[in-house]
Chains A and B, each alone.
Chain A
Amino acid sequence: MCGIVGLFLKDKSLEPELGAMLSDMLVTMTDRGPDSAGIAIYGSDDNKNGKITIQSDTPDEVFPNLEQDIKVATGTKVSVKRKSTHAVLEMDASEVNSVRSALNKIRPSVRIMSAGDTIEIYKEVGLPKDVAARFDISSMSGTHGIGHTRMATESAVTTMGAHPFSTGSDQCLVHNGSLSNHNSLRRKLRREGVHIETENDTEVGAAYLTYKMQQGSTLGEALESSLKDLDGFFTFLVGTKDGFGVVRDPIACKPAVMAETDQYVAFGSEYRALVNLPGIEEARVWEPEPATVYFWTH
């Protein structure tokens, strides 16, 4: 099954509530998938810094002295904010790539969850309520975010198999469904030089969209072409720095409900995920059409 949720805020006054609202939506979807959970939050871009979110299975060994070691390796000043098994590294936006490659050398066991200007991704094995509490998602503010609770089918229940998947700067994807041509597509994308870490089907979907956008497609165009190039079942929810998009495969057996008011656009696998949002009784609620791309930008 899997449960996915998303919230795109139009009303700035709701931004401090984003993490709390999104966590509540995701926890409601727990019984669609208890294996692992993850959330991507797009924070404000006020300080113009770049961010890398990293994860480690041995954070007590890996995270201490990280600031100094990066400074020595790259000459870049980085602030490290640890949250449980994850840490958010903040630095000058132009240094994101150099810090990322330095991390590969000085902390090879560290996994990169996301990189970009505003995105932070937190994901772990466990129930949504535990994952949300562990990373204190409820206290986070932001402009938009997406979340996923997983019932694994195509790859193992691990942190790296959890969603959201990010393969490009400020981009991420959550998926309900299963792709059937992910092996051949992974080989094709790798030949094009695209970095894909896991054997998971969804990561291939994320890498595909990133690749298309690198080739010059807009998010909308990339989602459009996914309908042609991806085979299988999918309801995708995609986040970019300034917006989010939704697309379902032509068969559309994976559920999806959307709601829109003057304050927000919300997505849920089920209506239950949306019932606590403000003004939901007056919202326009609808089921996204199959093979139709929807996206919203700030």
Chain B
Amino acid sequence: MQTFDLEALGLRKLNSTLHEQIEDTNQTAWEVINPKGSHAIAVGLDSPIEVTIKGSTGYYCGGMNQKATIKVVGSAGPGTAENMMSGKVIIEGDASQYAGATGHGGLLVIKGNASSRCGISMKGINIVVHGNIGHMSAFMAQSGNLVVCGDAGDALGDSCYEARLFVRGSVKSLGADCEEKEMRPEHIQILKELLAEAESDAKPEEFKRYGSARNLYNFDVDNAAAY
């Protein structure tokens, strides 16, 4: 285990050190101490290392992650795991707004609550939130799965495309063109695997699925000629 004191050595040194780790590095486990809410911790990683941040983080922790497993033993600020490509980001506490925004792949687990705009414009990432999510979550979500073990706020899934949204609790309101969908066996299977990987003991059968009603302009074939 390599320990890195962020307060003593600074952010640039941390991220460049983590970027230097190649695919088959022997230094696979890293611990970052004294994060103190700093921004852009462990951003742009590209190797299968494990980074544990001992404390709360600021903006964009774990952004653009590929292959790495990043764990925050605390809460995370806005834009956590933004545009993640692969790998795993785990937040032990709460996450602020737009967690997992625009993510293409990988798994984001938030063990507390997520704030507004969780999974906005998600493009293939899987997000599992053990608690609740805020308003405008999964706005324009394109693909991937958003799993919420608690409740969802206002305007869930507004203008979404093919992303699957699973909510166990209540949904305060659905956004434009978002509707409840039938739960089929393949959805139970997806949920079962995601919940197990996210260490949640929620039962797949307790969830409802939401997704696009495909009634907006861009879904109407008569408008195809406009492009």
Interfacial residues, chain A to chain B (CB-CB below 8 A): 250, 252-253, 255, 257, 270-275, 285-287, 289-290
Partner of A290, one of B36, B38, B134: B134
A122 to B219, CA, bound (A): 56
CB of B7 to closest CB in A, whole Å: 10
Chain A interface mostly: loop
Interface size class of B (residues with CB under 8 A): 10 to 19
Q: B56 contacts the other chain (Cβ, under 8 Å)? A: yes
Considering the complex, give the chain A residue whose CB is closest to the CB of B112.
Answer: A286
Q: How far is the CA of A53 from the CA of B131 in the complex (A)?
A: 47
Hey, what's the 0/1 contact readout for B37-70 against A, CB within 8 Å counting as 1?
A: 1100000000000000000101100000000000
Q: Which residues of A contact B115 (CB under 8 A)?
A: 287
Note all chain B residues with C-beta closer than 8 A to A271: 37, 56, 58, 75, 77
Interface residues of B in 143-185 (CB under 8 A from A): none
For chain B, what secondary structure do more than half of its interface residues adopt (helix, strand, loop), or is it mixed?
loop
Task: Tell me which residues across on chain A come within 8 A of B36, comparing CB atoms.
Answer: 272, 275
The answer to whether B58 and A270 touch across the interface, beta carbons within 8 angstroms, is: yes
A261 vs chain B, min Cβ distance (A): 16
11 other A-B residue contacts (CB within 8 Å) besides A271-B75, A272-B58: A255-B78, A255-B96, A270-B37, A270-B58, A270-B59, A270-B77, A271-B56, A285-B56, A285-B75, A287-B115, A289-B134
B89-113 residues with Cβ-Cβ distance < 8 A to A are: 94, 96-97
Tell me whether B135 and A275 are in contact (CB under 8 A): no
Which residues of A lie under 8 Å from residue B94 when comparing CB positions? 286-287
Residues of A near B116 (CB, < 8 A) are: 252-253, 290
Question: A255-B97, A286-B94 in contact; A272/B75 too (CB < 8 A)?
Answer: no
Q: Considering the chains assembled together, what is the distance between the CA atoms of A270 and B40 in angstroms?
A: 13
Which residues of chain A are within 8 angstroms of B77 by Cβ–Cβ distance? 255, 270-271
A273 CB contacts on chain B under 8 angstroms: 37
23 chain-A/chain-B pairs, Cβ below 8 angstroms:
A250-B135, A252-B97, A252-B134, A253-B97, A255-B77, A255-B78, A270-B58, A270-B59, A270-B77, A271-B75, A271-B77, A272-B36, A272-B38, A272-B58, A274-B37, A275-B37, A285-B56, A285-B75, A286-B94, A287-B94, A287-B115, A290-B116, A290-B135
